[in-house]
Structure 1
Amino acid sequence: MFLPLSASLASSPVAMAGNRTMHALQYDTYGGGPAGLKHVDVPVPSPKKDEVLLKMEATSLNPVDWKMQKGMLRPLFPRKFPYIPGEVIGVGSEVKDFKAGDKVVAFLNHLTGGGLAEFAVAKESLTVRRPPEVSAAEGAGLPVAGLTAHQALTQSAGIKLDGSGKETNILITAASGGVGHYAVQLAKLGNTHVTATCGARNIEFVKSLGADEVLDYKTPDGAALKSPSGRKYDAVIHCASAMPWSTFEPNLSSNGKVIDITPGPRALLTFALGKLTFSKKQLVPLLLIAKKENLDFLVELVKEGKLKTVIDSSIPSAKLKKLGPRVLMVMLLGRSLLNHRGI
Structure 2
Amino acid sequence: MKAIVINQYGSPDVLRYEDIPTPTLKPDQVLVKIHASSINPVDWKMRQGLLQPLSGYNFPKILGCDLSGEVVEVGEKATRWQVGDPVYTFVNPVFGGAYAEYVAVSAANLSYKPQNMTDAEAAGVPVAGLTALQGLLDLGQLRPGQKVLINGASGGVGTFAVQIAVAMNTEVTGVCGTSNVDLVKGLGAHTVIDYTQGDFTQQGIQYDIIFDAVGKQSFFNCTKVLQPDGIYISTLPTVDNMAATLQTLFSSNQKCKLVLAQPIRRDLDALRDLIESGKVKTIIDRTYPLSDVAQAHTYSEMGRTVGKIIIAINEGLQTINID
Both structures adopt the same fold (TM-score exceeding 0.5): yes
Aligned residue number for residue 107 of structure 2: 124
Aligned residue number for residue 45 of structure 1: 23
Within 5 Å, give how 1:1-343 maps onto structure 2.
22-33=1-12, 35-78=13-56, 80-85=58-63, 91-160=74-143, 165=144, 167-222=145-200, 224=201, 226=203, 231-275=205-249, 278-323=251-296, 325-327=298-300, 331-335=309-313
Aligned-partner residue type, residue 238 of structure 1: D
Aligned-partner residue type, residue 38 of structure 1: R
Aligned-partner residue type, residue 303 of structure 1: E
Contact 2:296/2:309 (<8 A) preserved:
no
- The structural deviation recorded for 1:323 is 4.5
Aligned-partner residue type, residue 264 of structure 1: T
Aligned-partner residue type, residue 131 of structure 2: T
Q: Which of 324-333 and 67-76 deviates more?
A: 324-333
- The structural deviation recorded for 1:45 is 3.1
CA distance in 2, matches of 1:311, 1:86: 17
Residue identity over aligned pairs, in percent, reads 33
Structure 2 residues not aligned, in runs of 5+? 66-72
Aligned-partner residue type, residue 139 of structure 1: A
- The structural deviation recorded for 1:262 is 1.5
Give the RMSD, CA atoms, in angstroms.
2.5
CA distance in 1, matches of 2:283, 2:91: 21
Q: If you compute each CA radius of gyration, which structure gives the higher value, 1 or 2?
A: 1
- The structural deviation recorded for 1:182 is 0.5
Question: What do the CA deviations read for 1:99-152 (whole angstroms, capped 9, x no partner)?
Answer: 111111122233432211111121111111125422111211221100110011
CA distance in 1, matches of 2:249, 2:53: 29
Partner-residue secondary structure (3-state), 2:174: strand
Partner-residue secondary structure (3-state), 1:180: helix
CA distance in 1, matches of 2:116, 2:247: 47
CA distance in 1, matches of 2:146, 2:86: 37
Q: Which of 305-314 and 72-81 deviates more?
A: 72-81
Q: Which of 36-45 and 110-119 deviates more?
A: 110-119
- The structural deviation recorded for 1:272 is 2.3
- The structural deviation recorded for 1:275 is 3.6
CA distance in 1, matches of 2:36, 2:226: 39
- The structural deviation recorded for 1:270 is 2.0
Using the size of structure 1 for normalisation, the TM-score is 0.82
- The structural deviation recorded for 1:264 is 1.2
Contact 1:51/1:121 (<8 A) preserved:
yes
Contact 1:125/1:292 (<8 A) preserved:
yes
Contact 1:311/1:341 (<8 A) preserved:
no
Q: Mark the CA change 1:177 to 1:156 in structure 2 (over 3 Å): closer, same or farther.
A: same
- The structural deviation recorded for 1:79 is 5.3
- The structural deviation recorded for 1:256 is 1.1
CA distance in 1, matches of 2:31, 2:202: 46
- The structural deviation recorded for 1:153 is 1.1
CA distance in 1, matches of 2:42, 2:222: 25
Q: Mark the CA change 1:131 to 1:263 in structure 2 (over 3 Å): closer, same or farther.
A: closer
CA distance in 1, matches of 2:322, 2:241: 26
Partner-residue secondary structure (3-state), 1:60: strand
Partner-residue secondary structure (3-state), 2:138: helix
Q: Mark the CA change 1:64 to 1:111 in structure 2 (over 3 Å): closer, same or farther.
A: closer
- The structural deviation recorded for 1:51 is 0.8
Q: Mark the CA change 1:221 to 1:110 in structure 2 (over 3 Å): closer, same or farther.
A: closer
Aligned-partner residue type, residue 192 of structure 1: T
